[in-house]
A and B are shown apart, each in its own frame.
Chain A
């Protein structure tokens, strides 16, 4: 931990600049693409972008926490696919809508807690556990449902039909509130700080009395809760739920977390950044259409964006002397 003495002030300034950078990038994108094609900045399109991607941002909150603690989860896309199917199935089967919203959240927390237990108590690396779980969930979902489409969802099921103050759709409000709550929790509570401690230096965290196993369990359970909420936001914006795994969703979620400034080496990063990054990625995806670039380039853009952020992060760390 060289440079520990001057780290807090600099780290804070850096964190702010990362988030402002993303906010600036969003504004710049809106302005530039808006000039080329004004329909891009129409309220309706902006609402569509935010509504259609609030679930990515919510999933990225949990993913950020997992990465900050020095772990990774690549099963989140499959889990969201499974939970969305569960939610839709329950709603169509006539369960109260509230339960169709709640059960996936509880289930998500349980599945992730189980994965967390494998990582925390049996010492299996999170990459292996979640890689295995990815195929279990994905294969399990398709073979259990046969990829059947779930339609005729009940009226009260769709969250987006309600708006706050007439302009902010409920899913977007949920995204904002969850981001704010998670940011506050990570910054101001002991449990939240313990994630940074564990990701920054596991041995130092242990000597400070932060149990690794307990913290890892906790972060995976919270991540599962957010994955459940994301699944509900995802499912309730669809008129037909395809009971398959959304392709490469885990990649998009990890991209949002990494581009949002969550350090690849663990220990730093905020969820405000990851939410802004999720919005930026969604806006880039939408803008490709408005400036007539084939959407098939979207994933290449995503990959380049992660790469650029990671390289910038390494460069800054090296300049601050945090690594050799």
Chain B
């Protein structure tokens, strides 16, 4: 098997095939799985992670990362609950305040990363601690409950028979998908990820684009916080802990290169669905919640191994194996 005559099919096609296989397998294993109710419920459960995964795809395509999203979710949830319950904000204003706080949190990340040149990994580790710390400090670990009934509409209500928040997720998917695939902004994201220097010399407003992307990341964390609080009807400072792992796993599993430059929203959605199916399927077949995160971690590492392997296969024919980082002068990969 020295020759590899077939070009590897697109990552998304492989994922979709795996997804169909998993669906079939789970449908056979459990009769409770392949019901409309269960599938809609699974969609509902992945909404918060899904919303955050949209801008995360953008962030990772630009070659960055945002580890602070889980903490930003917690901070926004606490600000929503506290501004309403303790500071006397009307609830709609509290919601707006939480969304604004999320955007501000993302803006701070983006500002320090672009203006001061701090690596995204370190900056967002710092705000991972800071935002969670603010959530804990402000709330003093007290929870807020007893929201008015109308507030539950977004997280527990339905629209045309489908959970309300799923519509929000669908809108977000379409919006981010179109922006990434069909606009110059989307192309600019990939250009920055391939080579930031080249993007700068091409006259792209690299800093402004990155700032927008990190701000969007924070804003979506705020939106996810609103939906989360509405779904469970209570606010706690540990909300969203570890969500960054689920989000990054979904994005990377969806074929977005962790080195930046490539990725699609379709891939991310498939990654999300696959992870949610794994979780649901495992729990239906009697595996406990803690073991499912083992599976997610394994899948994350394996998926990168496989895509790295495929990448090397594709590149090995064309250039000698160089230990230096991937060439920035040549686009060594296929555009979708």
Contact = CB atoms under 8 A, between A and B. Distances in A.
Q: Do A and B bind each other?
A: yes
B133 interface: yes
A251 B297 contact: no
Contacts of B123: 310
Contacts of B323: 206, 212
A62 B294 CA distance: 25
A307 B111 CA distance: 13
A75 B237 CA distance: 23
A254 interface: yes
A200 to B, nearest CB: 15
A299 B133 contact: yes
B60 to A, nearest CB: 10
B137 interface: yes
Interface in B285-336: 288, 290-298, 300-301, 304-305, 308, 323-325
Interface stretch (A27-35, A131-139, A165-173): A131-139
Given A139-B291, A264-B118, A310-B118, A124 B301 contact: yes
B273 to A, nearest CB: 19
A136 B298 CA distance: 7
B74 to A, nearest CB: 11
A135 B296 contact: yes
A165 to B, nearest CB: 37
Contacts of A302: 129, 133
A143 B290 contact: yes
Interface string A3-45: 0000000000000000000000000000000000000000000
Interface string A280-302: 00000000000000101111111
Contacts of B301: 118, 124, 128-129, 132-133
B132 interface: yes
Contacts of B207: none
Contact of B117 (A72, A122, A294, A314): A314
State which size class the interface on B falls in.
35 or more
A105 B96 CA distance: 50
A310 B123 CA distance: 8
Contacts of B65: 127
B104 interface: no
Interface string A124-160: 1101110111111011101100000000000000000
Contact of B126 (A134, A142, A303, A323): A303
Given A72-B121, A129-B301, A264-B122, A314 B116 contact: yes
Contacts, number: 138
B154 interface: no
Contacts of A132: 249, 297-298, 300-301
Nearest to A265: B119
Interface string B87-125: 000000000000000000000000010001111011101
B292 A139 contact: yes
A258 B122 contact: yes
Contacts of B283: none
B259 interface: yes
B128 interface: yes
Contact of B136 (A138, A299, A306, A307): A299
B140 interface: yes
Contacts of A265: 119
Nearest to A323: B117
Contacts of A301: 133
A313 to B, nearest CB: 9
27 contacts: A122-B305, A124-B304, A125-B258, A132-B249, A132-B297, A134-B245, A135-B296, A136-B298, A138-B293, A139-B291, A139-B292, A140-B291, A203-B324, A255-B129, A258-B122, A297-B133, A297-B136, A298-B133, A299-B132, A300-B129, A302-B129, A303-B129, A303-B131, A303-B132, A303-B133, A306-B129, A311-B112
3 closest A-B pairs by beta carbon, nearest first, are: A303-B130, A300-B133, A299-B133
Interface of B: 65, 112, 116-119, 121-123, 125-134, 136-137, 139-141, 237, 242, 245, 248-249, 252, 258-259, 288, 290-298, 300-301, 304-305, 308, 323-325
Given A131-B297, A294-B140, A307-B130, 13 more contacts: A124-B301, A136-B297, A143-B288, A297-B136, A300-B130, A303-B127, A303-B130, A304-B133, A306-B129, A310-B118, A310-B122, A310-B126, A323-B117
